[in-house]
Structure formats: C-alpha cells, structure tokens
A and B are shown apart, each in its own frame.
Chain A
Amino acid sequence: MNQRQEPPFITWLPFYTLLQKEIRRFLRVASQTLVTPVITASLYLFIFGATLGERISVLPGFSYAQFVIPGLILMGVINNSFSNVASSLFMSRYLGNIVDLLVTPVTPTQFIMAYTLAAMLRGLGVGLVVWMISCLFATLPWAHPLAAIAMAILASFLFAQFGIIAAIHADNFDSLSMYTNFIILPLIYLGGVFYPISILPPLWAKLSHLNPLFYMIDGFRYALLGVGDLTFLVSFGVVSIMALVLFCWSAILIARSYRLRN
C-alpha cells in the first residue's frame, strides 16, 4: 500500500485554481492586456471628446462625446474579453501546455467557466477604466445603471465564448488575428459606435440590423443615455440569444475536447 496518504479532493479547487492562473496571467503582462487597451480607448476619447465632441451632434440633447462614450466603453469590454481567452487558450494549444489541463480532473464546465470569468473580469475592468477616463470629457446620465451593467456583463460573456471558439478553430496566429481584424472590428465600427443607425439610408439601416453588435451597442447606449434605436428589452433579448448560442457552441467544443485531445 502507498505509505503516502492520498490527499482529500476538493471539487471546486480545480476551477478556482484555473481562474486564479488566468487572472494572474493577464496581470503579469498588464502593460499589454490592461494599459494598452486603456491608452487606445483614451485616444478615441480625446479625439471624440476633447476635439470633435463639441462640434458634432448626432443625437438631439447629447454631445457627440456623450453619444460615442457608451460604444467606446463596450468596445473595450468586447475586445478584451475576446482577446484574453482567445490568446491564452490558443497559446496553450500552440505551445502544447494544454495537456497539463487535459490530464487533470478539471471538468469541461470548470474549464469554460474559469476561462470565461477571467476574460469577463479583464473586459469589464478595461470598460470600467475607460468609463472613469471618459468622465474627464463628458458626464453620462446613467439612465438605467443596472441595465447598463447587465448589458456589459452579457457582452463580455458572449465575447469570451467567441474567444474560446476562435482559439479552438484557429490553426495559427494569422487565423486567430483574422477573427479580430475581419469579424470583430468591422462589426464594431459598423454597429453604431460612432453614429446612430437611424441617420443611415433605409437600406443600410436595415442591413445594420443584421449586425449582432448593433443590438449590444444600442442597448448599452440606451441604458446609459436613456435613448436608443431599439428598446432595451429587444436589444437585451437578441444579445441573450446570441450569448446562449455561442455558449452552447463553445460548451460542445470543450465537452468533446475538440482539437484539444487527439
């Protein structure tokens, strides 16, 4: 018999440890993962807040800075939630150290939740800092604060799932960056961050309704400013359905260990 006594198993500890590791990972390279996105967002705020903000008005009763800030906050949330999980999981696959997790009792649920929660914390953290910096340029009315928080949480959750999916399907760094450059960025820019969909010609306005980011940005703006192209419930409902679909997709991939186990 083994003279060393087998230590007791704590079921939640694998999840907590993986979450802790993922948080420490992005904190360790905070200059890339936190400081850089905040600087990028600050530059946008400077351009649209301090320089152009007072000269343009696209929404009656609000400055352009006020209009654009919700979109910029959400852009920080989305980009960072996505890239946190996408880069961490893809690097683990690429360098082969994913096997360190595959041989452990970490369950697929714990795996998804730990990666998702760490990504959400980074995304929401960046969003929070961007909002604090935005206070230097414009004050937001925070019409529906709980709705705003709920939409930010949902957006970060959704893009964490998308990050998992991208990390698993990507074959190399180029294909991973394609998700950011050819999917997320165009959808953000065409989703109404910088302009309201209502000012577009009817055809383009209709096409914009096919952009899933439009619902996220419009709903978040509605929660912060009290006005939007759609009601909050419609936006939140559409985003919830998308989040559920992406969660099911990533859950199936992880449960089957798709492209993780041979």
Chain B
Amino acid sequence: MTLPALAIKNLSKEYDGTLAVNNISFTIEPGEIFGLLGPNGAGKSTAINMIGGVSRIGTGSIEIFGFDNQRDSRTTRRLVGLMHQEIVIDNFFSIDQALRFHAGYYGVRDDAAWRQRLVDRLGLKPHLHKVMIKLSGGMKRRFMIAKALIHKPQLLILDEPTAGVDVELRHTLWDFVREINQQGTTILLTTHYLEEAEQMCDRIAIMNHGDIIALESTETLLKKLGTRSILVHLQTPIKELPDNLCCQGAELDDTGTSLHLTLSASQSAGDLLKRLCEIGLPITDIETRKAGLEEIFLQLTQAGRAKP
C-alpha cells in the first residue's frame, strides 16, 4: 500500500484564545497537486507552518510519507520543501551562496547540475552573484522557490507563491511546478488566484475560520457546487416574468428582452429549454456560462461568515 504524502489527523492550533485551525483532517496522495484555499486568516498558513515545522502542533498529528513530523522530524524535514508566504532571505549572501548553504542545511551535498537547472528554469542566472538586498521582489520570490527545491524534496509546499508577482513569473512558476510534479513531486499550494488553482490542482480544500468547509477533486467541486447561468435573448420584449420560471431565479432586464436564468448542478439545460418553448417565448439566442471556482469560493466562504 502506498503511504500518503501527507496525512493530517484532527489538527488544531490556538493562538491567544482564537482557534486558528480547528480539528482538520485530510490526506494528500503521492503525485497530487493539492490546493488549500481560503480567505485571509482562514488558517492556511498556520496549518502549513505546522506541517513544515515552523510552528508547534497544537493537537492532532501530521505524517509525511508515513513519518510523524514530531517524532521523526529530522526525516520529515528532509522530505519537505517549504516556500514561505513572507519573503525570507539572508541579506548577507548572494543567490549562489545561499542555495549552496541551503543544500547543506538539509545534509545534502551540493548537486551543481540540479542547482544549475533551478537557476536556469527560474531565470536567476543574471542575478546569481548579487546579494539578496539588491534583488527585486520577483527575483526574491524566484530564489525562494529554488531554495525550497534545492534538496530535492518529495513534498513541495508553496504558500502563496504568486502573491504580488507579475504574469510572466506566474506562468514560469506554474510551468515549473507542473514539470516537477510530473517527475513525482507532490505539491501542496495555497493561492488567492482561484483561476490558477482551478487549472493546477487535482483536489482542493477550502478553509474558513480554521475549518475545512469543502474538500473535493477540482472537477467534482465545480460540478457539485457549480451553478450555470443562462442568458436568453428575446425577439420581442415581455413585461412580466412567466410564473413557472420564478423558481429558476429568473431576472428580466430593463428592456424586457434579456432573461437571466440559473441552473443548479442537478438540472439539465434541455429541460429548461423545453419549458421555455412550452411557454412560447420568442427566443433569438441563448448564452450559457459555468460558475468558476471563484463563485464557488465566495458562495462557501460568505455562507461561513454568518458563523461567529
């Protein structure tokens, strides 16, 4: 049986009386790209810091490839590469020196070919011998990704890797993440760019107020919770909404020629069209649009706001 890359059981953490992470449990299988999403303060970074060993565990357990990250911390830390959300650098050293040091901290001999590959793929070459203080914000982020990967971890954790970076770096980063994932590295990532999570992640967990409020494969999440909206263009204006469309969340625009309808995941567009024809509406065109992760995210997290 293959051991999960990450197994979290009943994990909780409290800060000054506030429950930052509330009894969460989930597993990540080897080779997965797993997205941990949530609004600011949801508890994502707290959970990630406990996995990486930056914070102590409140209660519960974390296993990385079958090793307990408290008892076997020396082993688990070698298996994990963590890119922190905040820019963490040592201004005394250049990128080249810092990467060599980081390999050493992990007890790994400097692999010049791997270091060179990271430098090339992340576009760090022109800045290799500059001290950190002279690097731009984007370059610092690139360096932090290289730093997290320098010891060839089995589980790569990226905490908001694209926060505040330009489009080019985002593309470079995600291409590279896909590449190393294809080579077998399991990825756990958090991001505020939900479109990216939708494209990148095999499975997604959504956190809010320290709880996991959804955990599904990206496809299932979109299917189960994703509504579709239908815009019906009419040839001649109508004054009132037909009675039997009210339950579809129908809305008529001011001109009376555009009708907005909402379909739940369980309803078929064919049935709706049939009903529209039976009513005898003069339809000229129909547009459909699927709700993305962003709508689902807002739907779930806004529902959670009612929670004290």
Binding site for B on A (CB under 8 A): 1-11, 13-14, 16-18, 20-21, 24-25, 28-29, 92, 95-97, 99-107, 257, 261-262
Contacts and interface: CB of A to CB of B under 8 A. Distances in A.
Interface of B: 15, 30, 49, 52-56, 73-75, 77-78, 80, 82, 84, 86, 88-93, 97, 101-109, 111, 147, 151-152, 154, 183-185
B152 A4 contact: yes
Contacts of B52: 103
Contacts of B78: 6, 9, 105
B92 A25 contact: yes
Contacts of B184: 1-4
Contact of A103 (B80, B91, B183): B80
Nearest to B13: A262
9 contacts: A4-B183, A21-B93, A21-B101, A96-B86, A100-B147, A103-B52, A104-B102, A104-B106, A105-B106
Describe A's contact surface by its main secondary structure.
Answer: loop
Given A17-B101, A102-B53, A7 B84 contact: no
A59 to B, nearest CB: 44
A257 B53 CA distance: 11
Contact of B54 (A5, A13, A17, A262): A262
A16 B104 contact: yes
Contact of B92 (A1, A6, A28): A28
| 8 closest A-B pairs by CB | A17-B104, A2-B184, A104-B105, A262-B55, A105-B74, A9-B107, A3-B183, A7-B108
A106 B107 CA distance: 8
B10 to A, nearest CB: 19
A24 B104 contact: no
B105 A7 contact: no
Given A4-B183, A100-B105, 15 more contacts: A1-B30, A2-B30, A6-B78, A7-B151, A7-B152, A24-B93, A97-B88, A99-B88, A103-B82, A104-B77, A104-B102, A105-B73, A105-B75, A257-B56, A262-B49
Contact of B107 (A2, A11, A24): A11
A1 B102 CA distance: 24
Contacts of A4: 152, 183-185
Given A6-B152, A99-B88, A261-B56, A13 B109 contact: yes
B77 A24 contact: no
B54 A103 contact: yes
Contacts of A96: 86, 88
Contacts of B103: 17
A132 to B, nearest CB: 28
B106 A100 contact: no
B185 A106 contact: no
B109 A10 contact: yes
B57 to A, nearest CB: 10
A101 B82 CA distance: 11
Contacts of B109: 7-8, 10, 13
